Amino acid sequence: MYVTVKVEVEKCNGCKLCVLSCPDPNVLAYKQEEKHVVVNEHRCKGCGLCATVCPEEALTVSGN
């Protein structure tokens, strides 16, 4: 795995902007029950769009 995406779930407000901004399907999913996003790093290409659009700065993308 070359890319690490960290989600600080306590910061996530469930707006789903990151999900709507990710060009790759199946990287980010919204957990209805817990009301926060979860990430599948295996599919991530590390573009960082999700971290840029997050209004709460809940996501951090690192690696290459």
* CB 10, min distance to other proteins, A: 19
The residue among 8 and 62 lying less far from other proteins, judged by its C-beta, is 62
Give the residues lining the site for other proteins (CB under 8 A).
16, 19-26, 28-30, 32, 37, 43, 45-49, 51-53, 61
* CB 56, min distance to other proteins, A: 16
Written in H, E and C, the secondary structure of the chain is: CCEEEEECCCCCCCCCHHHHHCCCCCCEEEECCCCEEEECHHHCCCCCHHHHHCCCCCEEEEEC
